Amino acid sequence: MRSYGPYLMATIMLVAINYIFIAISANTSLKKLNTGSVTTAMLDLGFKFILLVTLAFLIYVNRFLWQQRSQEMGLYSMLGMTSHNLQLLTIIEKCYLMVISLVTGLIFGIIFEKLAFLGLGYLLNIGHLTQPWFVSSAILKTIIITVSLFVIIMIIDLIKLHRMTPNQLWQPQAASHKQHGVLYTLGGIIGFILLIWAYYITLTIKPRISAISHFMLAVMLLVVGTYLVFIIGSIILLHLLQRNKHFYYQPRHFIAVSGMLQRMEQNGASLATICLLCSSILVILFTSITLYVGIGSTVKSYSPDDVVMVGTQTLTKDQQSTISTVAHHHNAKVNDYVHYQMTVPQYGYWRNNHFINQGTIQKMDNKTSGSVILLTTKEYNKITNQHVHLSGNQALAYANNKGHYGKITVNNQTYHAKKLAHFDQYFNPDHSIYTPLFIVVNKLPQHTPLATVTTFNYQLKGTQKARIKFEQDLQSQLKMNNMAFTGKATITSLINGLYGGLVFIGILISIALAITTTIVIYFKQISEGYADHERFHTMQQVGLSEQETVKSIHSQVLMVFLMPVIGAIINLGFAIPAIRQIMIQLNFYNLPLMLTVGAIVAISLLALYLILYGLTTRTYQQIVDSPVKSIE
Identify which of 547, 602, 545, 600 has the alpha carbon closest to the alpha carbon of residue 570.
602
| Beta partners for residue 487, in sequence order | 307
Q: Which residue, of 172, 205, 229, is where some domain finishes?
A: 172
Does 77 map to a domain?
A: yes
Regions in the chain scoring below 50 on pLDDT: 174-175, 177, 627-632
Identify which of 371, 296, 322 has the alpha carbon closest to the alpha carbon of residue 588.
296
Radius of gyration of the chain (CA): 31
Expressed as residue numbers, the domain containing 444 is 307-487
| pLDDT for the residue 143 | 93
Does 580 map to a domain?
A: no
Alpha helices in 174-250 (DSSP H): 182-204, 211-228, 234-243, 245-248
Q: Which residue, of 487, 508, 543, is where some domain finishes?
A: 487
Does 192 map to a domain?
A: no
Alpha helices in 294-394 (DSSP H): 295-302, 317-329, 377-384
User: CA–CA separation, 286 vs 527, rounded Å?
Assistant: 32
CA distances from 625 to 6, 234, 616, 618 (A): 21, 27, 14, 11
Task: Put residue 354 in one of left, alpha, beta given phi > 0 → left and psi -120 to 50 → alpha.
Answer: beta
Does 328 map to a domain?
A: yes
Residue 408's SS3 state is strand
Contact at 8 Å (CB) between 303 and 486? yes
State the first-to-last Cα distance of the chain, in angstroms, to the nearest integer.
24
User: CA–CA separation, 65 vs 140, rounded Å?
Assistant: 28
| pLDDT for the residue 374 | 92
Residue 30's SS3 state is helix
Q: Which residue, of 487, 515, 535, is where some domain finishes?
A: 487
Say how many domains are in the chain. 2
Does 6 map to a domain?
A: yes
Does 190 map to a domain?
A: no
User: CA–CA separation, 130 vs 576, rounded Å?
Assistant: 37
User: CA–CA separation, 236 vs 185, rounded Å?
Assistant: 8
Q: Which helix (H) or strand (E) holds 510?
A: helix 488-541
Q: Let me know the angle formed at the C-alpha of 337 by 334 and 342, rounded to the nearest 5 degrees.
A: 145
Strands of 152-295 (E only): list them: none
Identify which of 579, 507, 493, 583 has the alpha carbon closest to the alpha carbon of residue 202.
579
User: CA–CA separation, 152 vs 55, rounded Å?
Assistant: 9
Does 84 map to a domain?
A: yes
User: CA–CA separation, 440 vs 381, rounded Å?
Assistant: 10
The whole-model pTM stands at 0.72
Torsion of CA 296, 301, 302, 308, to 10 degrees: 100
Contact at 8 Å (CB) between 215 and 578? yes
Other C-beta atoms lying within 10 Å of the C-beta of residue 535: 14
Does 75 map to a domain?
A: yes
